[in-house]
Structure 1
């Protein structure tokens, strides 16, 4: 049986990411053995000096039982790679996060998911399109994945819930640190009708550096990603890049060529993204008509 304490412990160690966790598992067989290994044994497993120093310092300060208890007090689950509930689509990507913190619940039906992202400074057109697409997808039984941000993300989550569907929000902070703060009530609705997910430890603040890596989880959970509105420097385009790398379909909603928010999607379409005029375009492309 998986001892989640050690997975949480390694999640709290700076400098030990998915590739190193995989190497430790391959070498030791389980993370409990890796946690208790000697300096020489960890070196033999391939840890570099910085990772070794970080791990050895962490082992002296981290109380594994207390760390697990804090997850439970937060009303969260800690899901590991080998858990049956770990999202199947996400497990398929290169170097998936070893562990996810989840508030709410994940279901097998969430394998049939589509992500929708875009600018925080959405126009009325962008919000209306996001709502229409998300509501139709949710009504068709598709889980809508986004990032709980202002603008397009929030519109997608709300519309999916109002259509009676499921939605998943992936955070760039701990699942106990909802961002932006004004979306606390929305986060509770998402928990009731889906899940909040993060691979960042509890208590992690929403620092700007956290969001680009978070985007690979958004795309990894989904069969495809829809970009509704995004400027040329928008983080939504990072999600599109991850989707392409992961073999996911990239969709984009066309917009006014003189509106900055349309430059990202229009450029993606020019580069080969699937043009979206309705949710049916997405459902048909992904063979989700019968979900």
Structure 2
């Protein structure tokens, strides 16, 4: 447990060498990186993965506006300092990717290199995201559903283990129609109603993984969902960086069966990344047959790409 940025964070740690901070997404925990610890540590890195604020054993502030992108970046900055380091590599998946990208955008002096899995680098849109998605999908996009106070919180907490099992199968490359759907929700029936509940988990996601994940949500989902409830506030707060680009060395990895890179406008953004990112290390790495849970579904390929990238940074 470490004290950073006015809160207490739980971290997992292994290895010695240059610091690599691994940032998980939704609905996950530090455990989503457990297949990366050994290989990265063996490659000569000090690997640290926190439960981010609102998750697991870390603090869960009550105020919704305590989960803005500036708070999340502040946690990473504070963590690097608290660990006694001046700079770090920052790697994020899902929601952890925007935190990693924004850490590199706002504090490039602290970032040796940045990698994002699933979610590409941030390029601020011309209008707030929630009204845009509301208009595009008639209020059924999952961001809008998550912004109904207490609704998704109650749905997911009713049977946490089943909710997480459904989520992970739905978002994986193993599910029928993976990568071919937008995450739309019937606001009356909820999101889980139409998600398949697999009788057998994918090989990469064991019952022990599900046990660890379920335990990490023993305090509910509200803290995690509050990240989504700041999407428009984040758009307002990041106005000074409109049009800015991430300058540290960067790597982007995604699965070709991941729903996130299929979000409206995202395929076009991914195609343009080499021209938009001055220090993009290579063409975006697309993993065949991989769904949303990139580092868990394809640990060997992700580990190899991360190690090659991290060791290539100046």
TM-score (norm 2): 0.27
Bigger radius of gyration: 1
Structure that is richer in helix per residue: 1
* Higher relative contact order, structure no. (Cα contacts within 8 Å, ≥ 6 residues apart): 2
